[in-house]
């Protein structure tokens, strides 16, 4: 029965055709009306199905607020591409609708000339906030926070706050329900007020009478520490301060959770050899180049592993059964090594291990490698023995797998820490190194042991 390509759903075809019709007519209202009822992910999907030139026209025609929602929904690299293709004035309009943390993410990835051109079109204060946020590392509190903080002076009253809430509904929305922070004359946070206390207190009460001491977080705090802080405290957000104690922004729990998820996804993609936020809507040349960079390196590594086999051609020719077990030994050892890599990467992300702990990690992995290697070696050794009726073949294969398992878990556990110590990306480099070494060592152990036991195998 022949397979056919999946047929697009009728609704997809209808939306796609409507978008093309409205584009041809230059109907901005029609484009907005077609996209607004859709979920943001669906709307972005429809826009990405258009050619790059049509995407540019859609973003240029629809309201800046809707375009900003689509840009915010897109992965960071795609969001940058969508913005940098637009005219400066339209790009600035869209950027202006984003929260300050997203603004900084996009602006920070643009070319300096493009970034400055957009910042020049923005409000001076907003542009200054973006320039400040861009200076922070992405995985720190400063890089994840929003610059907008819901603040009041220590001299203000409950009534003044409530009046501001009633008169500045749109402005309040930008704070996303933050609790009000009380700051002194130097803009240092000295307290925080819950919205519940604010509504139940007397209108003439001073904020200092109902506030609680705030838990402040330095802007340089790393993502791993931030996750621990939010695990310890049931807050939806925390104030971020510079070294001098001055309030510079607010970090939400959702921003930390999103950053942790994105990092996990990125590390998983890197382990599979996919670098960056690859999407199929990106230019073919870029996608191909990125993948080939990883695959080409693996060709070299596999040639090195294969060279071990060529050195033992005589052994293979004499005991051809060994060739059946070579991939089993390397694959089983590789699986054990990948388990060790996964545990080390997780502990690194949680801040539970550091490069200085390499010796302790190695000891722990060797211990489990000896147990698992012995069990796996015994199992495959028995298979080889009963299959060919030669106990020495079972001994060679089982011993090789046991030794290679110990080596694999040692590499898998320690190499990510060493790569981290020398400033390399452990997520991207650990896999290829592990695969090459376990293949090469597995081939060497099997073939060298077979050579040593040759009189007993033939």
Residues 6+ apart with CB under 8 A from 10: none
pLDDT at res. 268: 66
Distance of alpha carbon 448 from its chain centroid, rounded?
42
* 121, 150 Cβ separation under 8 angstroms: no
d(CA 143, CA 244): 18
pLDDT at res. 1: 37
pLDDT at res. 5: 38
pLDDT at res. 202: 86
**The two structure tokens encoding residue 218:** 């330095």
Which range in 110-114, 195-199, 298-302 is most confidently predicted, on average pLDDT? 110-114
User: Which of 188, 432, 423 is CA-nearest to residue 304?
Assistant: 432
Residues 6+ apart with CB under 8 A from 6: none
Residues 6+ apart with CB under 8 A from 191: 154, 181, 182, 207, 208, 211, 212, 213, 214
Label residue 272 by pLDDT band (50, 70, 90).
low
Give yes or no for residue 350 having a pLDDT over 50. Answer: yes
**The two structure tokens encoding residue 291:** 């993948």
Query: Tens digits of per-residue pLDDT, 420-438?
Result: 888 777 766 677 778 778 8
Query: Tens digits of per-residue pLDDT, 64-108?
Result: 899 999 988 888 888 888 888 889 999 899 998 888 888 888 888
Rounded to 5 degrees, what angle do the CA atoms 74, 80, 82 make? 70
Give yes or no for residue 408 having a pLDDT over 80. Answer: yes
Give yes or no for residue 453 having a pLDDT over 60. Answer: yes
d(CA 81, CA 201): 49
Label residue 371 by pLDDT band (50, 70, 90).
very high
* 332, 376 Cβ separation under 8 angstroms: yes
User: Which of 201, 216, 280, 277 is CA-nearest to residue 250?
Assistant: 216
Query: Tens digits of per-residue pLDDT, 353-364?
Result: 888 888 999 999
Q: Output the average pLDDT for the chain.
A: 82
pLDDT at res. 173: 57
Q: What is the mean pLDDT of residues 204-212?
A: 86
Question: CB-hemisphere CA count at 13 Å for 218?
Answer: 6
Strand pairing category for 189-192 and 181-183 = antiparallel
pLDDT at res. 8: 42
- Cα dist from 147 to 71, 174, 212, 247, whole Å: 19, 10, 22, 9
In terms of phi and psi (left: phi > 0; alpha: psi -120 to 50; beta: otherwise), the region of 72 is alpha
Q: Which residue has the higher pLDDT, 141 or 351?
A: 141
Buried b (16+ CB within 10 A) or exposed e, 348-370: bbeeebebebbeebbeebbebbe
DSSP H or E stretch at residue 285? helix 284-310
**The two structure tokens encoding residue 30:** 């029609």
Q: Which domains does the chain have, with CATH numbers?
A: 10-135 (1.25.60.10), 151-270 (3.10.580.10), 284-457 (1.10.357.20)
Q: What is the mean pLDDT of residues 5-25?
A: 68
State the maximum Cα–Cα separation within the chain, in Å, rounded to a whole number. 98
Q: For tokens 């990510």, what's the residue?
A: 416
Q: Which residue has the higher pLDDT, 250 or 296?
A: 250
Query: Tens digits of per-residue pLDDT, 173-205?
Result: 566 657 788 898 888 999 888 878 888 888 888
């Amino acid at each position: 029965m022949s397979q056919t390509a999946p047929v697009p759903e009728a609704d997809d075809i209808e939306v796609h055709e409507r978008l093309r019709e409205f584009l041809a007519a230059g109907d901005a209202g029609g484009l907005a009306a077609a996209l607004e009822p859709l979920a943001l992910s669906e709307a972005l999907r429809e826009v990405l199905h258009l050619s790059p030139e049509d995407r540019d026209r859609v973003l240029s025609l629809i309201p800046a607020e809707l375009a900003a929602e689509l840009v915010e929904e897109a992965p960071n690299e795609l969001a940058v591409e969508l913005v940098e293709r637009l005219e400066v004035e339209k790009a600035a309009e869209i950027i202006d609708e984003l929260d300050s943390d997203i603004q900084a993410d996009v602006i920070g990835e643009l070319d300096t000339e493009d970034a400055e051109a957009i910042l020049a079109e923005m409000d001076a204060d907003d542009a200054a906030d973006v320039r400040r946020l861009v200076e922070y590392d992405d995985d720190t509190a400063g890089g994840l926070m929003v610059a907008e903080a819901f603040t009041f002076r220590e001299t203000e009253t409950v009534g003044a706050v409530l009046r501001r809430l009633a008169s500045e509904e749109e402005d309040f929305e930008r704070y996303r329900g933050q609790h009000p922070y009380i700051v002194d004359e130097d803009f240092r946070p000295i307290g925080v007020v819950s919205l519940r206390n604010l509504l139940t207190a007397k209108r003439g009460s001073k904020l200092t009478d109902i506030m609680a001491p705030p838990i402040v977080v330095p802007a340089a705090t790393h993502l791993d520490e931030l996750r621990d802080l939010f695990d310890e405290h049931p807050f939806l957000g925390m104030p971020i301060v510079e070294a001098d104690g001055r309030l510079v922004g607010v970090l939400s729990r959702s921003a930390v959770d999103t950053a942790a998820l994105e990092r996990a996804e990125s590390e998983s993609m890197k382990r599979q050899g996919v670098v960056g936020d690859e999407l199929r809507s990106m230019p073919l040349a870029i996608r191909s180049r990125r993948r080939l960079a990883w695959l080409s390196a693996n060709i070299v590594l596999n040639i090195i592993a294969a060279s071990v086999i060529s050195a033992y051609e005589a052994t293979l020719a004499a005991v051809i059964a060994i060739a059946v077990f070579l991939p089993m030994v390397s694959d089983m050892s590789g699986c054990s090594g990948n388990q060790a890599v996964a545990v080390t990467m997780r502990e690194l992300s949680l801040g539970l291990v550091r490069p200085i702990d390499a010796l302790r990690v190695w000891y722990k992995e060797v211990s489990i490698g000896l147990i698992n290697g012995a069990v796996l070696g015994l199992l495959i050794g028995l298979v080889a023995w009963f299959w060919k009726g030669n106990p020495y073949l079972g001994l060679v294969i089982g011993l090789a797998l046991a030794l290679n398992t110990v080596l694999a878990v040692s590499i898998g556990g320690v190499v990510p820490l060493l790569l981290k110590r020398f400033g390399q990306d452990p997520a991207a480099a650990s896999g290829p190194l592990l695969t090459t070494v376990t293949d090469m060592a597995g081939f060497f152990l099997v073939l060298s042991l077979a050579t040593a036991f040759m009189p007993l195998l033939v």
